[in-house]
Amino acid sequence: AYKVTFIRDGKEKTCEVGPNDYMLDAADASRIELNASCRGGVCGTCVSKLVSGTVDNEWLEVLDDGNVLSKEQIAAGYILPCSAKPTSDCVVEAN
């Protein structure tokens, strides 16, 4: 499992996230509260910024450009934790 640290409201909370687990689900399991709604990569509520590390944000790749996150947001490191699996230890700035 990877260590994923979420920063929200200036507080840091870390949990372990398996390589096949979505970050949002792992945060839930560790009682780390994140903003979320659809949990399916559609609404954009969970949008967060990847500060360090890498993720497989698989659903973003199959969605049309700009559907949820713009190309610019993706290039700037924004991810959707509900549909992102870590591929390294990560630090995420949650909204």
Q: How far is CA 6 from CA 75, 86, 87, in A?
A: 20, 13, 16
**Residue 74 near ligand FES by CB under 6 A:** no
The runs of H, that is alpha helices, within the chain are 23-29, 58-62, 71-75
- Residues numbered 1-30 forming contacts with ligand FES, rule: CB under 6 A: none
| Single residue of 8, 16, 38, 77 touching ligand FES by CB under 6 A | 38
**Residue 70 near ligand FES by CB under 6 A:** no
Residues forming contacts to ligand FES in the complex (CB under 6 A) are 36-39, 41-46, 80, 82
